Chain A
Amino acid sequence: MSQSVMTSGNRPEKGMGKSPAERTEPTGSGLRGFMRSSGGDYLLLAVFAAAILTMPIWLAPIGAGYPDILQKFAIFGIFALGFNILFGFSGYLSFGHAAFLGVGSYAAVWMFKLLSMNAFPALIFAVLVSGVFALLIGFVSLRRSGIYFSILTLAFAQMSYNLAYSVLTPITNGETGLQVNRSDPRILDQLFGGTSMTVPDIFGVQLQGWAGFYFCAVLLILAFFITMRIKNSTFGLMLFAIKANQTRMSFTGFSTRPYLLTAFVISGMYAGLAGGLLAVTDPLAGAERMQWTASGEVVLMTILGGVGTLLGPVIGAAVIKYLEQIFSSFNEGLLHRAFDFLPTAVQDIVVAIVAPFVGEGWQLTLGLMFMIVVIFLPGGIMEGVGRIARRVRRDKPSDDGAASKAGH
């Protein structure tokens, strides 16, 4: 650094004698990640890990204390975390992320078929393949920004989806979906005299039931940790800067496209991991996972939780998957029982009103939620929580309001 800094005497005294770390401790912007102390981060990580691992206990009262749904929370949490690295950090809205989820699933099932029922090769392969896939799609799509980028990613995802159903049937097994058979070669398992079981495992532990959930949960915590590091890193700062003002970024000497491509690939790999985990917990892969409505779902998870926040996407994914479970399991009979306490006439009316939204009608509820969140709570649950928290402790200066307005 050149020392020709101006010679004026008006430099504030406070800065001079202290170490840089002391000087820039944030005052009002506690929600922002980059300048927060690392201690806070590890506390957050610890709390997060504890919360995830104890989900079977504290989610039991709302009827979500069983492994099937909890591992869905974890898997889609990973998916949304990754999506948020692209959309939340850099502002690029991909409408084709389900393609990477699907690719991850196919890749994992193929590893099960060819190599071993061990989950690790399958997951590694899933992440790698979806990473390469994301590199190709991202390289092309990122030549444009804004809605053009969204439409390009959408077009690529639709292409993948259509191909999976048609020409690529030898790889994807078309509409039936790709499955694991007893007759698959599974070279490694043969070599080491493995079983002919068709359940994925890690070194002998079958990943079913609770084992499956804890496996997914550990990976979720790992994914969360990596996301946290990325968010606080220089790279993360660059992504947020691109979101804030891409013009300034290029006039500031940054080649923005490689940054975006890196984010795109990372987020594609997260999706691949999630897809691989879907295959681990249920060794089956179908093209419907790649449909663009699935891409829309991860967008909703992310905005529902809070775009650009760390925790938001995980919460959003869990809420959506939970509601999906609840709503789609209801039918009219169950509804009548649920509203049993009402007089029959009222009960009929209530059931008639509620019925379109449950069971088959879950999609309708999803669509409505989509609209309501975008209209009323574009900052998502995290912003809502922040608002309430601020209302509770009113001692904070207006400065804080500005910080949260930035959407973090």
Chain B
Amino acid sequence: MDAIILQILNGLDKGGAYALIALGLTLIFGTLGVVNFAHGALFMLGAFCAVTFERVLTLSERVRDPSVTFFEAYKEVPYLTIWYGDAGQAIVDWAVPLSIILAIPVMLIVGLAMERGLIRFFYKRSHAEQILVTFGLAIVLQEIVKYFFGANPIPLTAPSALTGSVDLGHWLGLTGISYPLWRIVYFLFSLVVIAAVFAFLQLTTFGMVVRAGMADRETVGLLGINISRKFTIVFGIAAVVAGLAGVMYTPILAPNYHLGMDFLVLSFVVVVVGGMGSLGGAVLAGFLLGILQSFASMTEVKAIVPGIDQIIIYLVAVVVLLVRPRGLLGRKGVMEA
């Protein structure tokens, strides 16, 4: 029982990342009809926004280390600490969550630029060509990052207040469930972002138009609403969501330049399982597959079916595509070919 709960918890943070990326993918597909193979790269860019922000915050001065007395020792002290003392130290400590401030505008600009500069020329072209051009873009983006940040993973840490583990068992009345705090934070964060996206789509007029556009593009076009402008913004939002998912994921997995590709394939699978163009489906499938994957990595499961943890998600996708091609929550007739 404890083990099961632990596995569910383990799947939540990864599931949150899948859900956030898949949400953007499906939003773009539903509104713009574009298959965006560069979406994983947006996740990766988000992660590197955090890296950049952390680097800026920790710009340091070499000062003499007074604690070492036998010889002349130096240490790097961030300017922030020098200027603001403990407050500065705290800012450095909270670099990852704070980098959201940088990530939102950066990702928004990246998203808008991508849509205006490239994607919009591909609305009328085949899905194959969309896949190919965004695939090329994904390579370009990851190689640019590699050029500036190198090929090695860059570890970032969560704020010290959020680094430890919590004894969840205590709350749940079970024993022996200790769980890294940041993963809980990530899960909650992904819920907040998902809720924000849904609220935005449900409660604003803008969101209404977007949802109507997803349901029936032609009609909305006929109403004289400038959908293309709206869709540009949708793309921006999707980019921000993917970026934020990337920012907050850095303490869980040290980002490297091909992080995006790794997540992209999985997120596509998530979208397919959830149902192309279904927002709820993307979220549901994201968490479901995250949890499933964590179950599959249990040693007990691996003992029965070796290697299952490596392929479980793909296996699920294959089964879903064959048995229920529209996905878990997909609408009938949408992309059911």
Contacts and interface: CB of A to CB of B under 8 A. Distances in A.
Interface string A152-170: 1011101100110111100
B261 A140 contact: no
Contact of A154 (B132, B147, B268): B268
Contacts of A145: 337
Interface string A348-375: 0000000010001101101111110011
B286 to A, nearest CB: 16
A interface residue count range (under 10 / 10 to 19 / 20 to 34 / 35 or more): 35 or more
Contacts of B269: 151, 155
A93 B131 CA distance: 10
B265 interface: yes
B136 A367 contact: yes
B138 to A, nearest CB: 7
Given A154-B265, A166-B307, A364 B337 contact: no
B162 interface: no
Given A154-B265, A374-B133, A363 B143 contact: yes
B39 to A, nearest CB: 13
Describe B's contact surface by its main secondary structure: helix
B306 interface: yes
A378 interface: yes
Contacts of B322: 140, 143-144
Contacts of A165: 310
B128 A148 contact: no
Interface in B272-329: 272, 306-307, 310-311, 314-315, 317-318, 321-322, 325
B154 interface: no
A314 to B, nearest CB: 20
Given A147-B131, A159-B314, A296-B135, A168 B307 contact: yes
Nearest to B271: A151
B147 A148 contact: no
A152 B7 CA distance: 27
A267 to B, nearest CB: 16
Given A144-B325, A148-B337, A158-B314, A375 B121 contact: yes
B143 A367 contact: yes
A401 interface: no
A144 B337 contact: yes
Contacts of B265: 154-155, 158, 292
Interface string A234-254: 000000000000000000000
A148 B324 CA distance: 12
A155 B317 contact: yes
B128, B129, B131, B335: residue with the most chain A Cβ atoms closer than 10 Å: B128
Contacts of A303: 132
A65 to B, nearest CB: 30
B139 interface: yes
B35 to A, nearest CB: 5
Describe A's contact surface by its main secondary structure: helix
A195 interface: no
B281 to A, nearest CB: 15
Nearest to B150: A360
A168 B269 CA distance: 23
Given A148-B325, A364-B144, A367-B143, A163 B310 contact: yes
A361 to B, nearest CB: 6
Contact of B137 (A150, A356, A367): A367
B64 interface: no
Contacts of A168: 307
A158 B316 CA distance: 13
B314 to A, nearest CB: 4
A146 B29 CA distance: 14
A374 B335 contact: no
B147 A361 contact: yes
A356 B133 contact: no
B331 interface: no
Contacts of B335: 146-148
A222 B44 CA distance: 44
A126 B311 CA distance: 24
A147 B127 contact: yes
A299 interface: yes
Given A152-B321, A154-B265, A163-B307, A370 B128 contact: no
B330 to A, nearest CB: 11
B310 A363 contact: no
Contacts of A154: 265, 268
B127 A146 contact: yes
A37 B337 CA distance: 38
Interface of A: 91, 93, 95, 140, 143-148, 150-152, 154-156, 158-159, 162-163, 165-168, 292-293, 296, 299-300, 303, 356, 360-361, 363-364, 366-371, 374-375, 378
9 closest pairs, A vs B, by CB?
A367-B139, A370-B136, A167-B307, A364-B143, A162-B310, A371-B136, A367-B140, A155-B314, A374-B133
8 contacts: A147-B127, A148-B337, A162-B311, A166-B307, A367-B136, A367-B138, A368-B136, A375-B121
Interface of B: 35, 118, 121, 125, 127-129, 131-133, 135-140, 143-144, 146-147, 261, 265, 268-269, 272, 306-307, 310-311, 314-315, 317-318, 321-322, 325, 335, 337
Given A151-B321, A165-B310, 19 more contacts: A144-B322, A144-B325, A145-B337, A148-B325, A152-B317, A155-B269, A156-B314, A158-B265, A159-B314, A162-B311, A166-B306, A167-B307, A303-B132, A363-B139, A364-B140, A364-B144, A367-B136, A367-B143, A370-B133
